[in-house]
Every structure is written in C-alpha cells, then in structure tokens.
Amino acid sequence: MKLTVFGASGGVGRQLLDQALAKGHDVTAVVRNPAKLDGKPVRVVRAADLATADVGTLLPAVEGADAVLSALGPPNNAAAGVASRGTRAILAAMRAAGTRRLVVVSAAPVGTTPSPGRPNPPRHDPGDGPFLRYLVYPIVKAALRPQYLDLAVMEDDVRDSGLDWTVLRPVQLTDKPVTGAYRTAVGQNVPGGRYVSRADVAHAMLAVLDRPDTVEQVIGMAN
C-alpha cells in the first residue's frame, strides 16, 4: 500500500514508520524536521506547522495514498490543540485529493470527555472497571484536561469528515516491544485494560487497514 504517516517522528509514529516499511509499504512521512528521518527509505514532506498548513502544502503528501495514518497528539497541556488543528488540515487535504481511508490515534479517556460535537458523553465508559472509573480517570482527566479536549475535538472533526475513518483509543502507553497480542473492543474501552505499548498501537493502526468492519468505528485497545 501507499501510506502517508503524520507525526512520524513521535513515539507511535516512529514505530508506525518502521513497521510499515518492514511490511513493504510505500511510505510518505510528514514531519516538521526531516533530519529526524535521515536514513529512512521514505518520501519526506516537510510541514513546519500543521496547524497553519494550507491544502496546497499537504496535498502532495496525501495525493494517491491508499491510506493516511495520523499519530498526532499533544505531548503536554501546553501543546494542546496540535491534534485538532493538525487533523483539520489533514482532512481538508484528503478531501481535496480524493483520499478516503484515515486511521487516527486518540486516547481511552476521550470517550467520556465532553466536546462541542458530544457535549453530553456517557459519564462512564462501559469497559472501565471501578478502579479506573472512580479513582484513576478522574485524577488523570483533571490533570490532562486540555490534552483530552484537544483529542475529543479531533474526534468530532474525524466523525464529521465523510471519510472512511477509524479511531483507536489506547490506554496508557509504554515503550515495550510489539507483541501483536493486545486486546481491542469496538465502541468502548477494553475491560481491565491498563497499558499498551506504542509499538502495539502502531501494529493495530496497520492491522485495521485490511478490515472494512473497522470503518467509522472507535476501537479501544489495551494489553
């Protein structure tokens, strides 16, 4: 497949790039700093700031792609907005190019995070047990509220895009190696899930490309 990867120099993005290349895919990577991908056998498109990038800048990256995969996400509260604004630019470029398949990474707590498109989400995710529901997520969501709102707004835009999208919502990320043994749940978080590796998130992003049943679905994932 011809794949375009956004956020290719980040934690999930680097794993995605390596795994896609190992599978023989033809990869275009969109990054701020091409030097971070020196030595990688990929076509590199530089986008200094996705939030302000116009369609003309991103069109060459997505034109002719079989799928676009985005690992964009705010690394901290100060960077909140990068996912929603960047994804909005990606969606505009994809529509202009006629490219339809999109896979994006979000996060497990987003399912219960209010957003303009979902002002009254469920108070609790059915996959979350009492420990996560009443102890962990209230603390995490209070501390990282700007980041989760950014991802929630991103999901709003993806759902309304008219494209063939899949949203992956992993739990807490680790740097452990790929296993392929993670669990997934359609439309909710994975019961009992606490951790999953960035490498396995990348593996799942590639795996859903061959699964038409994942189109227009939100999928929770955990180990």
Model pLDDT for residues 128-176, shown as the tens digit of each residue: 988 888 888 889 888 999 999 999 999 999 999 999 999 999 999 999 9
Task: Look up the pTM and report it.
Answer: 0.94
Per-residue confidence band for 77, with pLDDT thresholds at 50, 70 and 90? very high
Mean pLDDT calculated for residue range 196-205? 98
- For residue 79, what pLDDT is reported? 87
Average of per-residue pLDDT across 54-58: 87
Check pLDDT > 90 for residue 16: yes
Instruction: Collect all residues with Cβ–Cβ distance below 8 Å to 58 and sequence separation of at least 6.
Output: 30, 45, 47, 50, 89, 90, 92, 93
Residue 66 has pLDDT above 80, yes or no: yes
CATH code assigned at 93: 3.40.50.720
- What average pLDDT score do residues 27-44 get? 89
Q: Give the other-Cβ count within 10 Å of 173's Cβ.
A: 18
Query: Which contacts (CB < 8 Å, 24+ apart) does range 17-26 have?
Result: 17/42, 18/202, 19/178, 19/199, 19/202, 19/203, 19/206, 20/69, 20/206, 23/206, 25/1, 26/1, 26/2
Of 163, 203, 205, nearest in space to 181 by CA: 203
Band of pLDDT at residue 35, cut at 50, 70 and 90: confident
Nearest to 107 by CA among 145, 164, 148, 141: 148
Percent of the chain scoring above 90 in pLDDT: 81
pLDDT at 17 over 90: yes
Encoded amino acid at 135, one letter: L
Residue 52 has a pLDDT of: 75
pLDDT at residue 103 greater than cutoff 80:
yes
Contact 220, 127 (CB under 8 A): yes
Q: What are phi and psi of 105, to 5 degrees?
A: -100, 130
Query: In which domain, by residue range, is 105 found?
Result: 2-222
State the pLDDT at residue 187: 96
Task: Provide the number of structural domains found in the chain.
Answer: 1
- Give the range among 118-122, 134-138, 198-202, 217-221 with minimum mean pLDDT: 134-138
Tell me: pLDDT of 51 over 80: no
Q: Tell me how crowded residue 16 is: count the other CB atoms within 10 A of its CB.
A: 30
